[in-house]
Structure 1
Amino acid sequence: MEQAPDKTAVRPAATVILLRNRATDPAVLMGQRGARASFMPNKYVFPGGAVDPGDAAIDLSLADPTLTQLADASAEPPHALAAAAIRELWEETGQILGRPAPWPDAPRGWRGFAATGHRPDGTALEFIFRAITPRGHSRRFDARFFLAEADRLASDPDNFTHAEDELKHLHWVSLSRVRALDLPFITKVVLAEVEAYLTRGPAATVPFFRNDDEAHLVSRLAGRSPLD
C-alpha cells in the first residue's frame, strides 16, 4: 500500500554544540525540553531552533570551510543559518557568541543580544552535521549543527541567568557520561561525529541525514556521497 505523502513543512533550523575542556574532559552544553513541548518532549538537546525571517538581514562573517559547506546544496543563505544558531544560543542559554561593539539599530529579535554590548560573530562556528527530521513528526526541521569552542564565548559559560525557559536543567555534560541522558536518536548520531572530530580533527565533508531519500539516506556536503 502506497504511503500517503507527508505534508508537514520542513523548516530551516540551526543548532549549536558548545564544547568545553577539549584537552582534558570534553563536555557539551545541553538542556532538557519541557514535558509539554510539542517537539521532542523531555529530551535533552543542544540549544537551537528555526531560522527567523530577520536572520537573513544579520551581517556576520563565516570562516571557510564552513561558508563553502553551508552553501553546498542549500537554498538558505549561509549567514542566515549562522545567525539563527547564535540567536537561538542566546535565547535558550544566555550565552554570547559575539564581539564587543555597539549595535543601536539591532532588529527585532536581536535587541536583547545587542543590549549586552555585542554584535554576533560567526567565525567561531564550524559546520559539522546536517539532518532533516523524519516523516511523521508534528514538526520537521532541516537542521544544521555547528560546533563552537566555549572559550570563544563572550559570556560566562556557567551563567544561565539570561536564558529563556524553553530549555531546563542547562548544564555541561562530559562526553563520557552524556549518553546516560534521555537523548533523541539524531543527537546520539551527532555526538558520535563530535567524538570523531576530537580524534581526527575537522572532516573534509559534512554528513547529511536526509531522512526523505530512500536511495541516499546519508550524503556528504561539499563532497561525494559515500553511496555513489
Structure 2
Amino acid sequence: MSALSVTAASKQAPKRLPIRDAATVMLIDASGREPKVLMGRRHEGVRFMPGKYVFPGGRVERADGLVSVAAPYPPHVERRLKHGVRRATASRVKAYGLAAIRELAEETGLMIGQRGVAFRARGDAWAPFVEAGIAPSLDGLHFVARAITPPGRPRRFDTRFFAADASLIAARREGVIHADAELVELCWPTLAEARSLDLPAITRLILVDLEARLEDGLERDQPTPFYRRGSQSARELV
C-alpha cells in the first residue's frame, strides 16, 4: 500500500478510544414508604451526557487504590468485583469503591465513611475527607451492576454501579452544587419518578436492576448484571 493510501486509510479509520475504569454510587433513602435514589442533572455544557440525570460518579484515579479505608468490602462483594477483570489486584478492586465515594463527595458534597479512624491518602482529591476527619468505608457498598460504554461515544468507561444507604453519609460540604458545576441540580425521586426523567439508556436499565436488588435485599450475594456494550447488548449475569 502506498504512503498516500496509508494516510487516507488512517483518516477513515475511527479512533479507538481507551476504556477507562469508572464507578458510581446510587444513594438510597429508605426512610419513607418508597425508597428514593439520589440523582443529579449534568451541566448542558459537558461533553459526556449533557443535561442528563445520572447517578454521581466518574473515572477511577490511580491514587484511589492507595487510600486506606475504615472497613473493607464484604467478602462476596470483593469476589464479584474481581470476576472477569484482568490484573484484579487488591488495590485496583479497592479503587472502584473508593472512586465512587470520592466522586460522590466531589459532585454532591456528601461523604461516606467513619469518624475517629486513622486515615491515609495521597493527593488533593482526598483532602476534604482528611479535613473532615472522615475515613472512607467500603463495607456499606453493594455491587449492583457493571457496564461498558458502547463504541461511537466521545468517551468510554467500564463502570461499576454500587448502591449504598443514605444513612452512611457522615459529612456534607456545602456549595458544591451550583450553575457552573458538573451537576447543577440534585433530586431524590422514587424509582418510578426517576424513570420519567431524561436518563441515559444505561441508567434506565440500571434502575431496573436496582429495583430488583432492593426487593431481594441489597446485602444478599447475587449474580451481577454486566452490560458489555452499554445498553446495546444483552444483559449477562456474572
Q: TM-score when scaled to structure 2? A: 0.83
Is 13-22 or 159-168 further displaced after alignment? 159-168
Q: What is residue 6 of structure 2 aligned with on the other side?
A: none
Alpha carbons 1:197, 1:203 under 8 Å: kept:
no
Q: 2:236 aligns with which of 216, 219, 222?
A: 219
Q: Which amino acid aligns with 1:96?
A: M
* 1:204 matches 2:222: yes
CA distance in 2, matches of 1:22, 1:134: 36
1:224 aligned partner: none
**SS at 2:85's partner residue?**
coil
- Which residue in the other structure is 1:24 paired with? 33
Residue 58 of structure 1 is matched in structure 2 by 67
Q: Distance in 2 between matches of 1:74 and 1:22?
A: 36
Deviations 1:127-181 (A, max 9, x none): 010000010001000000000011122136xx75345821111121111211121
In the alignment, residue 161 of structure 1 is paired with which amino acid? G
Which consecutive segments of 4 or more residues in structure 1 shift more than 6 A? none
Q: For residue 80 of structure 1, what is the aligned residue in structure 2?
A: 95
Query: Which residue pairs with 1:132 in the alignment?
Result: 148
Q: Secondary structure at the match of 1:180?
A: coil
Partner of 1:43: 52
Change (3 A) 1:163 1:67: farther
Q: Is 1:7 aligned to residue 16 of structure 2? A: yes
Q: Give the number of the structure whose residues are more often helix, by fraction.
A: 2
Greater Rg, structure 1 or structure 2?
Answer: 2
The alpha-carbon distance between structure 1 residues 16 and 160, as it changes in their structure 2 partners (threshold 3 A), is farther
Letter in 2 for 1:91: E
Question: Cα distance, 1:114 vs. partner?
Answer: 1.4
Q: Which runs of 5+ in 1 are unaligned?
A: 222-228
Aligned to 2:210: 194
Who is 1:161 aligned against? 175
Q: Return the alpha-carbon distance in structure 2 between the equivalents of residues 32 and 23 of structure 1.
A: 23
Q: Residues 134 and 6 from structure 1, CA distance in 2 versus in 1: closer, same or farther, beyond 3 angstroms? A: farther
> In angstroms, what is the RMSD of aligned CA positions?
2.3
Contact 1:102 1:114 in 2 (8 A): no
Would the aligned equivalents of 2:66 and 2:121 in 1 still touch at CA under 8 Å? no
Does the aligned pair in 1 maintain the 2:77–2:221 contact within 8 Å? no
- % identical equivalent positions: 39
Contact between 1:44 and 1:181, CA under 8 Å: does it hold in 2?
Answer: yes
What is the count of residue pairs matched by the alignment? 215
